[in-house]
């Protein structure tokens, strides 16, 4: 027999109006999950989140059933609401006034009897709910609340459509799953009267969830929704100011676009960090349309953080664009093929790192493209294979720390003064393109200006322990194309010294196979040593230009193919040894 003490805090202190059609509203735990009662504290709050469906909201009652529990008590008291009186009053009428007083004098015995009554009401309500709400083998259209109440479906095999003519708040708490789409049709002008969409118990949509072009829509509250097998679209909702998808765990793709009044949202688990695959938004699957469509897109939205939305998932593409209130964001993702961030010119990007907390994965980003940012924190080093930074008007000091970086493309940043890689080794570099950054100065050991302090703020220990340094690794490059204020130390400390000051067949030297093009605005820059590597050492067998000079290739050009193979092998061996 279950412990009757565990439900003593179930009954709600406050009464509330009863729906004109349904005569009671109750939030109960059904008998199959009665063990979950033990997860509640004496004040009625949960010790842990209950399992799926352990907490069911029931909104189906007979017109004669007026003594059903309302909710788990928020304050732990033992009262229930009903119409016209309360369960306490019902007990008084059933037992008689004197019997009632004697019962109140013996609180422990009364609590046990009261609990049995509560549990019986819970069981009766759950059983009665299953009789009333049924599977509907058709599509449904909800134009108003009366349509919802008339349908009385727990499951729909077709679509659920809320048409452009819908009005008010549409609430469908009875509905548990939709096998088709959940769609809200677009409306225009004064014909828009839909204010809200709400369902506490809807857990699954097997098709798409699609809402677009509803200027009047202010709230979307689906706190129980865990899976949308198709794509989830919330588009062009200028009045939306409340979004509750707190239980969402699995979507085909996620698109939240043009909702400027949405300042906060409950998406997944917004607080805390968990790698549990069943907690938070962990799956962007592209399941219904193919993995190529597994995308997360957030554009033109008022949110100030994306903490619940970005939560250790894999995706084809991630796009963050024009979020005026988003100034700092940590990206906890897994494998993302393309990540595009267009900030508000005052945004700092932070990245997770593998095993920063035990067992947590690190980002593996094929292509990272940033615009409109102010800073990238280099304290942690995610895996980024290709990095593009362009059109960042407030970016002055670019410190990046990307493991396995192969391509670097930095251009059209009008105020960029310094850039330096903090990665431990740059042995994967293949293509370097740096141009149209009019204030950029490149040297082996760039100085730290007084206002170059954002990195010191982020990670002071690392900042103080290491000197800023541009470190070339003796790779076999495809292309090195650079235009900036370059001093002679930038190339000579590595390139020239390895070719001219080192000897022996085992010395690994850098080589550029396709194009080496350098233009420096520094009057002291000297091409003499680089030209020597071109004409005598075979370092640049492909296209070559240094300050506009193009001397012919010399020694080593005829051995280009075998040299490429040998250098690639040497670089791989060197990387393994390191």
Report the range of poorest mean pLDDT among 224-238, 308-322, 418-432. 418-432
Sign of CA dihedral 501, 504, 510, 512: positive
Residues β-bridged to residue 515? 479, 543
Per the model's pLDDT, the better-predicted residue between 37 and 428 turns out to be 428
Q: How is the beta sheet containing 328-331 ordered, strand by strand?
A: 328-331, 348-351, 375-376
254 vs 88, residue with greater confidence: 254
Contact 500, 532 (CB under 8 A): yes
How far is it, in rounded angstroms, from Cα 399 to Cα 389?
12
Q: In b/e form, how buried is each residue of 55-76, taking b as 16+ CB within 10 angstroms?
A: bbbbbbbeeebbbbbbbbbeeb
Percentage of the chain surpassing pLDDT 70? 69
What share of residues in the chain are helix, strand, coil (percent, to 5)? 20, 30, 50
pLDDT computed for residue 457 by the predictor: 83
CB atoms within 10 A of CB 38: 12
**Residue 544 contacts by C-beta under 8 Å, 6 or more apart in sequence?**
515, 516, 517, 534, 550, 551, 553
pLDDT-wise least confident of 88-102, 209-223, 330-344, 366-380: 88-102
Cα separation, 305 vs 260, in Å, equals: 14
Digit-coded pLDDT (tens) for 475-505: 899 999 999 999 999 998 788 888 877 655 5
Burial of 466 from C-beta contacts in 10 A (0-12 / 13-18 / 19+): exposed
% of the chain surpassing 90 pLDDT: 52
Residue 302 has pLDDT above 60, yes or no: yes
Round to whole Å and give the CA distance between 128 and 65.
11
Q: Report the range of poorest mean pLDDT among 51-65, 217-231, 345-359.
A: 51-65
CA-based torsion, 147, 152, 155, 156: positive or negative: negative
Least confident of 75-84, 193-202, 239-248, 439-448: 75-84
Q: What is the domain partition of the chain in residue ranges?
A: 4-132, 134-473, 474-578
Give the Cα separation of 298 and 32 in Å (integer): 39
Question: How far is residue 6's CA from residue 14's CA, in Å, rounded to a whole number?
Answer: 21
- Three-state DSSP class for residue 495: helix
Mean pLDDT of 6-22: 33
Angstrom CA distances, 242 to 156, 238, 266, stand at 26, 12, 8
Is residue 334 within 8 A of residue 314, CB to CB? The reply is yes
Cα(324)–Cα(302) distance, integer angstroms? 6
- State the average pLDDT over residues 469-477: 89
Return the residue matching tokens 């900042």.
463
- Give the per-residue pLDDT at 368: 97
Instruction: Read off the pLDDT of residues 308-340 as tens digits, 9 standing for 90 and up.
Output: 899 878 899 999 999 999 999 999 898 999 999
pLDDT (0 to 100) of residue 430: 96
Q: Among 8-22, 262-276, 362-376, whose mean pLDDT is lowest?
A: 8-22
Q: How confident is the model at residue 569 (pLDDT cuts 50, 70, 90)?
A: low
Strands 227-235 and 250-259: parallel
- Which H, E and C letters describe 332-389, residue by residue? CCCEEEEEEEECCCCCEEEECCCCCCCCCCCCEEEEEEEECCCEECCCCCCEEEEEEE
> Residues 55-73: pLDDT tens digits?
333 333 333 333 333 333 3
Contact 6, 74 (CB under 8 A): no
What are the beta bridge partners of residue 486?
442
What is the pLDDT, as a whole number, of residue 128? 45
Confidence at residue 58, expressed as pLDDT on a 0 to 100 scale: 31
pLDDT number for residue 312 = 79
**Phi-psi group of 236: left, alpha or beta (phi > 0 → left; psi -120 to 50 → alpha; rest → beta):** left
DSSP 440-475: -EE-SS----TT--HHHHH-HHHHHHS---------
Q: Are 228 and 205 in contact (CB under 8 A)?
A: yes
Return the higher-pLDDT residue of 1 and 277: 277
Instruction: Give the torsion through C-alpha atoms of 304, 306, 308, 309, to 10 deg.
Output: 140
Quote the tokens at residue 107: 């609180």
> Residue 62's pLDDT is what?
31
């Amino acid at each position: 027999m279950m412990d009757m003490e565990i439900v003593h805090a179930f009954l709600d202190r406050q009464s509330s109006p009863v729906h004109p059609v349904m005569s009671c509203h109750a939030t109960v735990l059904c008998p199959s999950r009665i063990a979950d009662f033990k997860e509640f504290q004496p004040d009625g709050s949960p010790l842990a989140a209950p399992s799926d469906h352990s907490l069911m909201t029931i909104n189906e009652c007979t017109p004669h059933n007026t003594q059903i529990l309302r909710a788990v008590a928020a304050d732990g008291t033992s009262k229930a609401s009903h119409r016209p009186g309360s369960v306490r009053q019902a007990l008084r009428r059933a037992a008689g006034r004197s019997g009632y007083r004697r019962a109140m004098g013996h609180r422990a015995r009364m609590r046990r009897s009261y609990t049995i009554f509560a549990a019986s009401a819970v069981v009766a309500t759950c059983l009665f709910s299953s009789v009333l709400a049924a599977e509907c083998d058709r599509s449904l259209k909800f134009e108003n609340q009366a349509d919802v109440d008339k349908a009385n479906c727990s499951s729909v095999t077709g679509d659920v459509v809320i048409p452009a003519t819908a009005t008010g708040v549409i609430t469908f708490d009875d509905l548990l799953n939709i096998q088709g789409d959940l769609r809200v049709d677009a409306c225009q002008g004064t014909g828009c009267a839909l204010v809200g969409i709400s369902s506490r118990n809807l857990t699954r949509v097997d098709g798409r969830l699609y809402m677009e072009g509803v200027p009047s829509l202010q709230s979307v509250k689906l706190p129980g929704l865990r899976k949308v097998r198709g794509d989830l679209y919330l588009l062009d909702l200028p009045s939306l100011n409340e979004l509750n998808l707190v239980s969402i765990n699995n979507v085909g793709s996620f698109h939240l676009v043009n909702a400027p009044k949405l300042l906060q949202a409950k998406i997944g688990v917004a607080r805390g960090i968990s790698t549990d695959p069943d907690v938070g938004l962990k799956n962007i699957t592209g399941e219904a349309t193919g993995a190529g469509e597994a995308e997360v897109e957030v554009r033109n939205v008022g949110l100030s953080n994306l903490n619940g939305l970005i939560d250790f998932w894999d995706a084809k593409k991630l796009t963050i664009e024009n979020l005026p209130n988003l100034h700092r964001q940590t990206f906890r993702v897994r494998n993302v093929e393309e990540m595009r961030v267009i900030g508000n010119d005052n945004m700092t990007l932070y990245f997770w790192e593998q095993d920063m907390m035990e067992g947590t994965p690190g980002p593996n980003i094929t292509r990272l493209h940033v615009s409109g940012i102010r800073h990238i924190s280099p304290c942690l080093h995610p895996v980024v294979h290709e990095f593009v930074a362009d059109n960042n008007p407030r970016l002055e000091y670019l410190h990046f720390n990307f493991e396995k970086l192969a391509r670097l493309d930095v251009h059209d940043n009008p105020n960029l003064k310094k850039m330096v890689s903090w990665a431990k080794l740059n042995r994967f570099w293949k293509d370097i393109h740096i141009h149209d950054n009019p204030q950029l100065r490149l040297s082996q050991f760039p100085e730290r200006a007084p206002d170059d302090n954002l990195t010191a703020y982020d990670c002071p220990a690392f900042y103080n322990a290491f000197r800023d340094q541009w470190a070339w690794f003796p790779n076999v490059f495809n292309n090195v194309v650079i235009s900036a204020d370059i001093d002679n130390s930038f190339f000579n400390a590595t390139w020239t010294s390895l070719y001219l000051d080192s000897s022996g067949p085992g010395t690994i030297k850098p080589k550029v196979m396709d194009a080496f093009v350098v233009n420096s605005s520094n009057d002291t820059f000297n091409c003499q040593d680089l030209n020597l590597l071109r004409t005598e050492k075979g370092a640049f067998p492909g296209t070559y230009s240094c300050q506009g000079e193009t001397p012919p290739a010399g020694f080593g050009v005829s051995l280009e193919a075998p040299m490429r193979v040998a250098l690639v092998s040497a670089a791989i061996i060197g990387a393994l040894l390191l």
